[in-house]
Amino acid sequence: MGLDNSAMSLGRIAGPLWAGALYDSNIDFPYMSGSIVMLLGFALSVLGMKDVQTDQSSEQMMETAP
């Protein structure tokens, strides 16, 4: 819980600073930056799910082996 709160606090500090700097360059840059971060998070979660599914299927195969 402490690590989660720390990450949220860091995001609340760094996020507006990052978006403000991008907004000064172009009004669309903060939105593009946010979408890139979301896509990276999605890709990492999909890759993590594949690893978990692979581990679970290998454990099931070991349990059913004679």
Query: Mind listing the pLDDT tens digit of every residue in the chain (66 residues)?
Result: 789 999 999 999 999 999 999 999 999 999 999 999 999 999 999 988 887 766 666 666 556 655
Where exactly are the structural domains of the chain? 2-64
14, 19, 16: which is closest to 32 by C-alpha? 19
- Per-residue pLDDT at 61: 57
Using CA of residue 8, residue 13, residue 18, residue 19, what is the dihedral sign? positive
